[in-house]
Amino acid sequence: MRIIETIAEMRKLRRQSGLVCLVPTMGSLHQGHRRLIEAAAERGGLTVVSIFVNPLQFGLGEDYDLYPRDLAQDVAASRAAGADVVFAPAVSEIYPPGSEATRIELGPITQVLCGRTRPIHFSGVATVVAKLFHIVEPNFAFFGAKDAQQVAVIRRMVRDLNFDVDLVRVPTVREANGLACSSRNRYLTDQERERAGALRRALTAAQGLYARGERRQAALIAQVSAILKTADITPEYVEVRSWDGLTSLGDTLDESPALLALAAWMGKARLIDNVLLGADREEQAAVRDQSGEGPVARGQSVQRRG
Protein backbone atom coordinates (compact mmCIF):
# COMPACT_ATOMS: atom_id res chain seq x y z
CA MET A 1 0.00 0.00 0.00
CA ARG A 2 1.27 3.47 -0.90
CA ILE A 3 1.15 6.64 1.15
CA ILE A 4 0.88 9.77 -0.98
CA GLU A 5 1.17 13.30 0.37
CA THR A 6 1.23 15.48 -2.76
CA ILE A 7 -1.41 16.32 -5.33
CA ALA A 8 1.11 15.84 -8.16
CA GLU A 9 1.91 12.29 -7.10
CA MET A 10 -1.77 11.45 -6.59
CA ARG A 11 -2.64 12.77 -10.06
CA LYS A 12 0.22 10.79 -11.61
CA LEU A 13 -1.01 7.55 -10.07
CA ARG A 14 -4.58 8.36 -11.08
CA ARG A 15 -3.53 8.77 -14.72
CA GLN A 16 -1.91 5.32 -14.64
CA SER A 17 -5.02 3.68 -13.11
CA GLY A 18 -8.29 2.47 -14.59
CA LEU A 19 -11.16 2.26 -12.14
CA VAL A 20 -10.64 4.33 -8.97
CA CYS A 21 -12.70 4.23 -5.75
CA LEU A 22 -12.34 7.01 -3.19
CA VAL A 23 -13.20 6.95 0.52
CA PRO A 24 -12.88 10.47 1.94
CA THR A 25 -12.21 10.53 5.70
CA MET A 26 -10.77 12.71 8.43
CA GLY A 27 -8.82 9.78 9.85
CA SER A 28 -9.12 8.40 13.38
CA LEU A 29 -10.49 5.38 11.57
CA HIS A 30 -13.04 3.09 13.21
CA GLN A 31 -15.30 0.22 12.15
CA GLY A 32 -17.55 2.55 10.15
CA HIS A 33 -14.64 3.77 8.03
CA ARG A 34 -13.44 0.20 7.73
CA ARG A 35 -16.76 -0.85 6.21
CA LEU A 36 -16.52 1.99 3.65
CA ILE A 37 -12.99 0.94 2.65
CA GLU A 38 -14.06 -2.70 2.37
CA ALA A 39 -17.00 -1.70 0.17
CA ALA A 40 -14.64 0.31 -2.05
CA ALA A 41 -12.14 -2.55 -2.27
CA GLU A 42 -14.97 -4.96 -3.16
CA ARG A 43 -15.89 -2.67 -6.05
CA GLY A 44 -12.41 -3.27 -7.51
CA GLY A 45 -9.79 -1.03 -9.11
CA LEU A 46 -7.58 1.29 -7.09
CA THR A 47 -8.94 1.97 -3.59
CA VAL A 48 -7.86 5.38 -2.31
CA VAL A 49 -8.52 6.44 1.29
CA SER A 50 -8.04 10.15 1.86
CA ILE A 51 -7.13 11.26 5.36
CA PHE A 52 -7.46 14.98 5.86
CA VAL A 53 -8.80 16.91 8.84
CA ASN A 54 -10.44 19.71 6.88
CA PRO A 55 -10.16 23.07 8.67
CA LEU A 56 -12.85 24.60 6.44
CA GLN A 57 -15.61 22.47 7.94
CA PHE A 58 -14.93 23.36 11.59
CA GLY A 59 -16.60 26.45 13.03
CA LEU A 60 -15.00 28.77 15.56
CA GLY A 61 -14.86 27.06 18.94
CA GLU A 62 -15.34 23.58 17.45
CA ASP A 63 -12.88 20.73 17.96
CA TYR A 64 -10.46 21.24 15.02
CA ASP A 65 -7.40 21.37 17.30
CA LEU A 66 -8.61 18.55 19.53
CA TYR A 67 -9.72 16.28 16.69
CA PRO A 68 -7.85 12.95 17.12
CA ARG A 69 -5.01 12.42 14.63
CA ASP A 70 -2.92 9.25 14.35
CA LEU A 71 -1.64 8.68 10.82
CA ALA A 72 0.36 5.52 11.63
CA GLN A 73 -2.71 3.83 13.08
CA ASP A 74 -4.90 5.01 10.19
CA VAL A 75 -2.41 3.68 7.64
CA ALA A 76 -2.47 0.28 9.36
CA ALA A 77 -6.28 0.28 9.50
CA SER A 78 -6.55 1.29 5.83
CA ARG A 79 -4.17 -1.46 4.78
CA ALA A 80 -6.06 -4.05 6.84
CA ALA A 81 -9.37 -3.01 5.24
CA GLY A 82 -7.99 -3.42 1.72
CA ALA A 83 -6.89 0.08 0.63
CA ASP A 84 -4.23 0.48 -2.05
CA VAL A 85 -3.40 4.11 -1.32
CA VAL A 86 -3.64 6.46 1.64
CA PHE A 87 -3.75 10.05 0.37
CA ALA A 88 -2.76 12.20 3.36
CA PRO A 89 -1.93 15.73 2.20
CA ALA A 90 -0.88 18.56 4.51
CA VAL A 91 -3.27 21.47 5.00
CA SER A 92 -0.91 23.69 2.98
CA GLU A 93 -1.08 21.25 0.06
CA ILE A 94 -4.89 21.42 -0.11
CA TYR A 95 -5.24 25.08 0.85
CA PRO A 96 -2.18 27.01 -0.28
CA PRO A 97 -2.13 30.58 1.05
CA GLY A 98 -4.74 32.73 -0.65
CA SER A 99 -6.93 29.81 -1.76
CA GLU A 100 -9.20 29.64 1.29
CA ALA A 101 -11.68 32.21 0.02
CA THR A 102 -12.83 29.93 -2.82
CA ARG A 103 -15.80 27.91 -1.57
CA ILE A 104 -18.64 25.75 -2.84
CA GLU A 105 -21.97 27.16 -1.65
CA LEU A 106 -25.13 25.09 -2.02
CA GLY A 107 -27.74 27.24 -0.31
CA PRO A 108 -30.64 26.01 1.87
CA ILE A 109 -29.68 22.31 1.94
CA THR A 110 -26.62 23.30 4.00
CA GLN A 111 -28.56 25.51 6.42
CA VAL A 112 -31.15 23.04 7.78
CA LEU A 113 -30.69 20.26 10.38
CA CYS A 114 -27.01 20.39 11.49
CA GLY A 115 -26.47 23.48 9.33
CA ARG A 116 -28.57 25.56 11.69
CA THR A 117 -25.92 25.35 14.41
CA ARG A 118 -22.99 24.68 12.05
CA PRO A 119 -23.62 27.25 9.28
CA ILE A 120 -20.26 26.92 7.50
CA HIS A 121 -19.82 23.18 7.97
CA PHE A 122 -21.35 21.82 4.76
CA SER A 123 -19.81 24.49 2.56
CA GLY A 124 -16.45 23.36 3.98
CA VAL A 125 -17.30 19.70 3.38
CA ALA A 126 -18.46 20.36 -0.20
CA THR A 127 -15.34 22.40 -0.95
CA VAL A 128 -12.89 19.75 0.22
CA VAL A 129 -14.84 16.92 -1.43
CA ALA A 130 -14.91 18.87 -4.72
CA LYS A 131 -11.15 19.30 -4.48
CA LEU A 132 -10.66 15.59 -3.71
CA PHE A 133 -12.88 14.67 -6.66
CA HIS A 134 -10.76 16.86 -8.96
CA ILE A 135 -7.49 15.49 -7.60
CA VAL A 136 -8.38 11.79 -7.42
CA GLU A 137 -11.03 11.70 -10.19
CA PRO A 138 -12.75 8.66 -8.69
CA ASN A 139 -15.33 6.62 -10.57
CA PHE A 140 -16.99 5.78 -7.26
CA ALA A 141 -16.93 7.67 -3.96
CA PHE A 142 -18.12 6.07 -0.72
CA PHE A 143 -19.94 7.92 2.06
CA GLY A 144 -21.58 6.76 5.29
CA ALA A 145 -25.34 6.88 5.82
CA LYS A 146 -24.76 8.15 9.36
CA ASP A 147 -23.96 11.57 7.89
CA ALA A 148 -27.22 11.80 5.96
CA GLN A 149 -27.02 15.54 5.38
CA GLN A 150 -23.48 15.20 4.09
CA VAL A 151 -24.66 12.57 1.59
CA ALA A 152 -27.53 14.85 0.48
CA VAL A 153 -25.18 17.82 0.09
CA ILE A 154 -22.58 15.87 -1.90
CA ARG A 155 -25.29 14.31 -4.06
CA ARG A 156 -26.62 17.80 -4.83
CA MET A 157 -23.13 19.10 -5.62
CA VAL A 158 -22.39 16.16 -7.93
CA ARG A 159 -25.63 16.74 -9.82
CA ASP A 160 -25.48 20.51 -10.00
CA LEU A 161 -21.78 20.76 -10.90
CA ASN A 162 -21.79 17.72 -13.22
CA PHE A 163 -19.13 15.67 -11.47
CA ASP A 164 -18.60 12.37 -13.26
CA VAL A 165 -18.67 10.20 -10.16
CA ASP A 166 -21.11 7.67 -8.72
CA LEU A 167 -21.86 8.00 -5.03
CA VAL A 168 -22.20 4.89 -2.91
CA ARG A 169 -23.98 5.24 0.40
CA VAL A 170 -22.85 2.67 2.98
CA PRO A 171 -25.17 1.72 5.90
CA THR A 172 -24.18 2.95 9.36
CA VAL A 173 -21.93 0.70 11.43
CA ARG A 174 -22.83 0.63 15.13
CA GLU A 175 -21.48 -0.32 18.51
CA ALA A 176 -23.18 -3.17 20.40
CA ASN A 177 -25.78 -0.87 22.02
CA GLY A 178 -26.74 0.73 18.70
CA LEU A 179 -24.64 3.88 19.05
CA ALA A 180 -23.28 4.82 15.61
CA CYS A 181 -19.47 4.48 15.46
CA SER A 182 -17.87 7.91 15.35
CA SER A 183 -14.41 9.34 15.85
CA ARG A 184 -16.02 11.64 18.42
CA ASN A 185 -17.31 8.74 20.57
CA ARG A 186 -13.91 8.79 22.26
CA TYR A 187 -14.96 12.06 23.92
CA LEU A 188 -17.70 10.12 25.79
CA THR A 189 -17.42 8.69 29.29
CA ASP A 190 -18.47 5.05 29.70
CA GLN A 191 -21.73 6.17 31.24
CA GLU A 192 -22.49 8.63 28.43
CA ARG A 193 -21.66 5.98 25.84
CA GLU A 194 -24.17 3.63 27.44
CA ARG A 195 -26.89 6.30 27.62
CA ALA A 196 -26.23 7.25 23.98
CA GLY A 197 -27.70 3.89 22.91
CA ALA A 198 -31.07 5.62 23.39
CA LEU A 199 -30.53 7.62 20.17
CA ARG A 200 -30.81 4.50 18.05
CA ARG A 201 -33.63 3.03 20.17
CA ALA A 202 -35.62 6.24 19.76
CA LEU A 203 -35.19 6.35 15.98
CA THR A 204 -36.02 2.69 15.43
CA ALA A 205 -39.11 3.01 17.68
CA ALA A 206 -40.34 5.85 15.43
CA GLN A 207 -39.49 3.80 12.36
CA GLY A 208 -41.61 1.01 13.85
CA LEU A 209 -44.52 3.41 14.40
CA TYR A 210 -44.20 4.54 10.78
CA ALA A 211 -44.19 0.92 9.61
CA ARG A 212 -47.45 0.40 11.53
CA GLY A 213 -49.08 3.25 9.62
CA GLU A 214 -48.37 6.39 11.65
CA ARG A 215 -47.87 9.29 9.21
CA ARG A 216 -48.23 12.29 11.53
CA GLN A 217 -44.84 13.95 11.89
CA ALA A 218 -45.65 15.22 15.38
CA ALA A 219 -46.42 11.69 16.62
CA LEU A 220 -43.19 10.29 15.17
CA ILE A 221 -41.12 13.08 16.70
CA ALA A 222 -42.92 12.73 20.04
CA GLN A 223 -41.98 9.06 20.11
CA VAL A 224 -38.30 9.92 19.63
CA SER A 225 -38.41 12.69 22.24
CA ALA A 226 -40.08 10.42 24.81
CA ILE A 227 -37.38 7.75 24.54
CA LEU A 228 -34.58 10.33 24.62
CA LYS A 229 -36.12 11.76 27.76
CA THR A 230 -35.92 8.41 29.55
CA ALA A 231 -32.13 8.57 28.98
CA ASP A 232 -32.04 12.21 30.06
CA ILE A 233 -31.02 13.39 26.58
CA THR A 234 -32.17 16.77 25.28
CA PRO A 235 -31.77 16.76 21.52
CA GLU A 236 -30.51 19.73 19.55
CA TYR A 237 -33.08 18.77 16.93
CA VAL A 238 -35.33 15.89 15.91
CA GLU A 239 -36.74 16.46 12.45
CA VAL A 240 -38.38 14.79 9.50
CA ARG A 241 -37.32 16.03 6.06
CA SER A 242 -37.47 14.80 2.50
CA TRP A 243 -34.81 12.19 1.90
CA ASP A 244 -33.33 13.79 -1.19
CA GLY A 245 -33.37 17.58 -0.91
CA LEU A 246 -33.94 17.82 2.87
CA THR A 247 -36.99 20.01 2.29
CA SER A 248 -39.68 20.34 4.97
CA LEU A 249 -42.70 18.07 4.64
CA GLY A 250 -46.38 18.45 5.49
CA ASP A 251 -47.78 17.61 8.94
CA THR A 252 -48.91 14.28 7.52
CA LEU A 253 -46.28 12.42 5.51
CA ASP A 254 -47.07 10.87 2.17
CA GLU A 255 -45.32 7.76 0.90
CA SER A 256 -42.22 9.46 -0.53
CA PRO A 257 -38.91 8.62 1.19
CA ALA A 258 -38.33 10.70 4.31
CA LEU A 259 -35.40 11.11 6.65
CA LEU A 260 -35.87 11.19 10.43
CA ALA A 261 -32.70 12.74 11.82
CA LEU A 262 -31.45 13.97 15.16
CA ALA A 263 -28.47 15.55 16.86
CA ALA A 264 -27.73 15.63 20.59
CA TRP A 265 -24.90 16.70 22.82
CA MET A 266 -23.62 14.09 25.30
CA GLY A 267 -20.95 15.66 27.47
CA LYS A 268 -18.21 16.84 25.09
CA ALA A 269 -19.52 14.98 22.03
CA ARG A 270 -22.12 16.11 19.54
CA LEU A 271 -23.75 12.94 18.18
CA ILE A 272 -25.94 12.52 15.10
CA ASP A 273 -28.03 9.67 13.77
CA ASN A 274 -30.92 9.07 11.41
CA VAL A 275 -33.26 6.51 9.88
CA LEU A 276 -35.11 6.44 6.61
CA LEU A 277 -38.85 6.09 7.02
CA GLY A 278 -40.40 3.10 5.26
CA ALA A 279 -39.07 -0.40 5.88
CA ASP A 280 -37.71 -0.89 2.39
CA ARG A 281 -36.64 2.69 1.78
CA GLU A 282 -33.06 2.27 2.95
CA GLU A 283 -32.36 -0.33 0.32
CA GLN A 284 -34.08 1.67 -2.41
CA ALA A 285 -32.10 4.75 -1.45
CA ALA A 286 -28.80 2.87 -1.54
CA VAL A 287 -29.58 1.57 -5.01
CA ARG A 288 -30.67 4.99 -6.18
CA ASP A 289 -27.48 6.59 -4.88
CA GLN A 290 -25.33 4.21 -6.79
CA SER A 291 -27.02 4.99 -10.08
CA GLY A 292 -27.69 8.68 -9.47
CA GLU A 293 -30.70 8.26 -11.74
CA GLY A 294 -33.63 7.04 -9.72
CA PRO A 295 -34.56 3.48 -8.79
CA VAL A 296 -32.87 0.71 -10.76
CA ALA A 297 -33.09 -3.03 -10.53
CA ARG A 298 -30.87 -4.56 -7.89
CA GLY A 299 -27.59 -5.76 -9.33
CA GLN A 300 -27.93 -3.61 -12.45
CA SER A 301 -24.49 -2.55 -13.62
CA VAL A 302 -23.54 1.02 -12.86
CA GLN A 303 -20.01 0.73 -14.18
CA ARG A 304 -18.85 3.72 -16.16
CA ARG A 305 -15.30 4.87 -16.84
CA GLY A 306 -12.31 2.71 -16.25
Binding of ligand AMP at residue 172 (CB under 6 A)? yes
Q: Is 167 in the site for ligand AMP (CB under 6 A)?
A: no
Residue 52 makes contact with ligand AMP by CB under 6 A: no
E strand residue ranges, 138-268: 140-144, 166-170, 235-242, 258-266
Of 52, 143, 163, 210, the one binding ligand AMP by CB under 6 A: 143
Phi, psi (5° rounding) for residue 254?
Answer: -95, -160
Among 4, 21, 35, 114, indicate the residue that binds ligand AMP (CB under 6 A).
35
Per CB under 6 A, does 26 bind ligand AMP? yes
For residue 64, the tally of other CB atoms under 10 A from its CB is 14
* Distance, CA of 212 to CA of 20 (rounded, Å): 42
User: How many residues lie near ligand AMP (CB under 6 A)?
Assistant: 17
Choose the stretch contacting ligand AMP; rule: CB under 6 A; options: 33-41, 75-83, 233-241, 288-296.
Answer: 33-41
Residue 199 sits in the site that holds ligand AMP (CB under 6 A): no
Cα first-last separation, the chain: 21
Handedness of CA 12, 69, 101, 103 (dihedral sign): positive
Residue 12 C-beta: closest distance to ligand AMP, Å:
25
Q: Is the dihedral of CA 175, 268, 87, 302 positive or negative?
A: positive
**Closest distance between ligand AMP and the C-beta of residue 57, in Å?**
9
For ligand AMP, the closer CB: 32 or 45: 32
Cα separation of 77 and 7, whole Å?
22
Asked about 33 being catalytic, the answer comes back as yes
The rounded distance, in Å, linking the Cα atoms of 302 and 306 is 12
CB of 30 to ligand AMP, least distance (A): 7
Nearer to ligand AMP (CB atom), residue 147 or residue 239: 147
Binding flag, residue 227, ligand AMP (CB under 6 A):
no
Task: Put the strands of the sheet holding 20-25 in their side by side order.
Answer: 2-4, 85-87, 46-51, 20-25, 140-144, 166-170
Q: Cα(250)–Cα(263) distance, rounded to whole angstroms?
A: 21
Minimum CB–partner distance for residue 305 and ligand AMP (Å): 22
Q: Which is nearer to ligand AMP, 128 or 287 (CB)?
A: 128
CB nearer to ligand AMP: give 168 or 209: 168
Stretch that binds ligand AMP, among 29-37, 74-82, 195-203, 271-279 (CB under 6 A): 29-37
Rounded Cα gap, residues 295 and 85, in angstroms: 32
Interface with ligand AMP includes 282 (CB under 6 A)? no
From residue 6, give the alpha-carbon distance in Å to each of 3, 88, 99: 10, 8, 17
Residues recognised as catalytic: 33
- Which residues contact ligand AMP (rule: CB under 6 A)? 25-26, 32-33, 35-36, 143-144, 146-147, 170, 172-173, 180-183
